Homo-oligomer: A and B are copies of this chain.
Amino acid sequence: MRADARDNRLRILTAADEVFGQSPQASTDAVAKLAGVGIATVFRHFPTKTELLEAVLTQRLERLRDQALTLASSDNAGRAFYMFFSRVVSESAVKLAIGEALIAAGGAAGEDARKAAAGLREAFGSLLAEAQRVGAVRRDAGLPEVYALLIGASRGATARHLEPEVRDRMLTLVYDGLRPAS
C-alpha cells in the first residue's frame, strides 16, 4: 500500500469521525471536503457510505472498549464501574447516534461493527461483575438491563443538550438504583 494512500485513508477516517459526529446523516461530499480529498478517493477507500459509517463506528466502539479494559485493571472496581458509566454518558452520545444511522441506512450493522459492539459489551460486563463482587453494585442487576440503562442514559443526555448539572443529578438517581439496598 502506497504511503499517500494510507495517509489519505487516515485523514478520511478522522474527517468522517468529525463530520458524522456532528450530523450522522451528512453527505459523503462533506467528509471529502473536510478531509481535503476528492469524492472518488473516499469511495475508493470505502466503497459504500455504509462501510465508511461502519468504520467510524467500529473505531469508536473499540476505543471505548479499550478504556473499559484499562479501568478494569484498576484496584477500585466500584469506582471504575461508575467512572466508566459516567464517561460513556458524557462522551459517547455521538457514537450511539452513528450506530443508529448505520442501522437505519444499511439495515443491519456490518460484521466489524457487530464484533466491536460485542467486545465493548463484554468489557462492560467484566466491569459490572467486578463491581458486583466488591459490593458496589447490587447483585440482582443483570448485564442486559444495566447495559440498556447505560445506553438509555447516554441517549437521554444527548437528546436535548442536557446541562451538565442536570445530567449529574440524573446519574445520581441512576446510581442510587444500582447500589445494593443498604
Contact = CB atoms under 8 A, between A and B. Distances in A.
Q: How large is the interface on A (under 10, 10 to 19, 20 to 34, 35 or more residues)?
A: 35 or more
B157 A154 contact: no
A96 B166 contact: no
Interface string A44-56: 0000000000000
A69 interface: no
A176 to B, nearest CB: 4
Nearest to A153: B152
Contacts of A150: 156
A162 to B, nearest CB: 6
B173 A145 contact: yes
A34 interface: no
A118 interface: no
A182 to B, nearest CB: 8
Interface string A113-151: 000000000000000000000000000011011101111
Contacts of A163: 144
A146 B159 contact: no
A23 B157 CA distance: 23
A148 B152 contact: no
- Residue of A23, A100, A145, A182 with most chain B CB atoms under a 10 A cut-off: A145
Nearest to A155: B155
A121 to B, nearest CB: 11
> Lowest 4 CB-CB distances: which A-B pairs, in order?
A152-B156, A177-B177, A155-B155, A145-B170
